[in-house]
Structure 1
Amino acid sequence: MFLSSSTIIAKIDDNLLKEKELRNFHFFEQNNHDKNKKFYSINFFNNDMGEIHWSNSFDHGLMNVIGFIKKSNLFFLFTSSIQHHTFLKIILSKFYGKSVTISIIKLPFPVPNNIKLNIEKFELIDNDVIMGLVGVVHHNGKSILLKVYTNGVVTYSLTDKKEDIYLILDISLKILSEYGALKNV
């Protein structure tokens, strides 16, 4: 497992997964700025967990790495940067040989304040119509701070425990579902 404190939830068309099974894949592209090659990759550790990689200069540059968990047609990218979904889009578009649409699952803006959440192990602390929701996940005698923002970022107390991360992801999906963000997922 990897250390994380934030995620974005990227949704792809589930028909893509029926066309061709997603697997390890990498490719190079010419960099327009110099002679170095761009590099993109998706690697799976198992069926639902892996990493995406990219670099603008494979031979001399920084290798960017983002861990992910895949559940059905949802990718939980462990980053706090919404724009990182574009690298997943580049990789999947090349893999499937066509343009892939990716949607970020997020709270409606502004956040309605008339919805009463009744989610096991979750206690809502604040509902800010602009920023989103703040709450606490109670699990195994500890409290995990959870924030679900209107821009699609989900943050939580830093952890590397797989059980905690899966619980946080599950509760986040339940929250988003209560606010209608998971229609047609």
Structure 2
Amino acid sequence: MIMSSSLIMIKVNNYLNFGELQGDLFFEEEKTFYSLSFESKQKDVGEIHWTTSYQFGKMNIVYFLRQENFFYLFTSTPEHFNILKKILTHLFQGEINIELLKVPRKSKFVDINDNRVCDIKYDENFGFSANLKIENWSSLLKFYSNGLITYKMNDNRQLIDEIISICKALLDGVVKQNE
């Protein structure tokens, strides 16, 4: 499993059929090499890669999970959203409608009722901070207004799934107030 302490959540708004993909994707564009590879038959775990110097340069690698139309990139750099967008646009030969999920700025928050989360603090410019207690694991969670989510380092898929669920609930608490 992936050892992580940060992630970004990306939502694909148009339908993409990943089941039809045959093998990995790689291409070069403007002297930059890109690739997408899946590590499972379900195409729900994988890596994106890119480099500006394929022969001798540093290969950038970001691991991800995919659940239906959501990608969760294990990175501390929200800009990696643009790399995934470029790869998906190339892969599906057209305009891809995807968005980086961020805490909306200058909004109001309605508290969520979740016993795994306590001491939620919301700042309209910063985002969220909260204490998590999931079974025997605890962590400070920060969900910034630029889309970055940070938490204590772990490699437990169940914990990561719960962190993602909590972050989506926090976003729903903001969205409901704005409707």
TM range (shorter): 0.7 to 0.9
CA gap 1:138/1:99 in 2 versus in 1, 3 angstroms: same
For 1:17, the equivalent position in structure 2 comes to 17
1:159 is matched with 154
Identity %: 32
Report Cα offsets for 1:108-149 as digits up to 9, x if no partner.
Answer: 112414x12212311133222211111122112231211111
Displacement of 1:159 in angstroms is: 1.0
Between the aligned partners of 2:22 and 2:112, the Cα distance in structure 1 is 35
Residues 68-120 of structure 1, C-alpha deviations (whole Å, 9 max, x = no match): 1111111111112111111111111111111223211111112414x122123
- Contact 1:10–1:85 (CA<8 Å) still a contact in 2? yes
The structural deviation recorded for 1:29 is: 2.9
In 1, Cα distance between equivalents of 2:17 and 2:131: 34
**Alignment partners' CA distance in 2, 1:177 and 1:52:** 28
What do residues 128-177 of structure 1 show as CA deviations (whole Å, max 9, x unaligned)? 22111111221122312111111111111111122211111111112112
Instruction: Give the TM-score taking structure 2 as reference length.
Output: 0.88
TM-score (norm 1): 0.85
> Taking structure 1 as reference, are residues 153 and 111 closer, same or farther at Cα in structure 2, changes over 3 Å only?
farther
1:95 aligned residue (83, 91, 109): 91
Give me the whole-angstrom Cα distance separating, in 2, the residues matched to 1:16 and 1:97: 11
CA contact (8 A) 2:127 2:142 kept: yes
Q: Taking structure 1 as reference, are residues 14 and 139 closer, same or farther at Cα in structure 2, changes over 3 Å only?
A: same
Aligned to 2:138: 143
Q: Which amino acid aligns with 1:168?
A: I
Unpaired runs of 5+ residues, structure 2, are: none
Distance 1:119 1:42 in 2: 36
Q: Relative to structure 1, is the Cα distance of residues 23 and 177 closer, same or farther in structure 2, using a 3 angstrom cutoff?
A: farther
Match of 2:103 among 84, 104, 107: 107
Q: Which moved more, 1:136-145 or 1:89-98?
A: 136-145
Name stretches of at least 5 consecutive residues in structure 1 with no aligned partner. Answer: 32-37
RMSD, matched Cα: 2.0
Q: Name the counterpart of 2:78.
A: 82
- SS of residue in 1 equivalent to 2:140: strand
